Amino acid sequence: MDRHSGWMARTLALAAAGITVGLLSTTASAQDVRNDVQDLRQDRREIRQDTREIRGDRRELRGDTREIRGDRRELQGDRRELRDAYKSGDPSAVKSAKQELRGDRRDLRGDLKDRRADRRDLHGDKRDRRQDVRDLRHDRRDLRKDVAEKH
């Protein structure tokens, strides 16, 4: 009888260990699924934020382009005024026309610099969005894998 109860105790201990490992692996899978779902939500939030930033960058680019067009029109007018000032022979008119022309050129260069920076921002935001979409796909794949392992 002693041998029988020892055998029975070992069998029960082994079964308890198996059940414990099985339950722990199920719990870990549930945690993995929960983490994957949270990652998916976070990735979607990041994609929406990147999309908003891209729209904002495009809006800024359109504004910069409008400003540049206006600056170029002003430069044309300033050149015309400088020609007229030269024709009139008035030194003060020539001086003021040159100053106006210099100022508008400076404005144009600044606006062109702003547009380049906005274009860089746009490209960076597009790159971030592409990476977030890749992360989303990866997290979806992980979720499908974890759900398949759980069942």
Q: Is the pLDDT of residue 14 over 90?
A: no
Rounded to a whole number, what is the distance in angstroms from the first to the last CA of the chain?
41
The token pair at 135 is 């992360």
The label of the residue with tokens 């999309």 reads 51
Q: Is the pLDDT of residue 110 over 90?
A: yes
Each residue of 49-104: pLDDT tens digit? 999 999 999 999 999 999 999 999 999 999 999 999 999 999 999 999 999 999 99
Taking residues 125-147, what's their average pLDDT? 90
- Please provide the average confidence, as pLDDT, over all residues in the chain: 85
Please state, in angstroms and rounded to a whole number, the distance separating the CA atoms of residues 37 and 151: 17
* Residue 79: CB atoms within 10 Å: 13
**Tell me, what CATH number does 140's domain have?**
1.10.287.620
Q: Is the pLDDT of residue 16 over 80?
A: no
Return the DSSP state at 1: -
**Helix intervals (H) in the chain:** 2-88, 91-150
| Tally of structural domains, the chain | 1
Return the DSSP state at 151: -
pLDDT at position 58:
95
pLDDT band for 29, please (50, 70, 90 cuts): confident
The label of the residue with tokens 């935001």 reads 125
% of the chain exceeding 70 in pLDDT: 81
The token pair at 138 is 């990866």
Please state, in angstroms and rounded to a whole number, the distance separating the CA atoms of residues 139 and 128: 16
pTM (predicted TM-score): 0.67
Q: How many residues are there in the chain?
A: 151
- Enclosing domain of residue 44: 2-150
pLDDT at position 72:
95
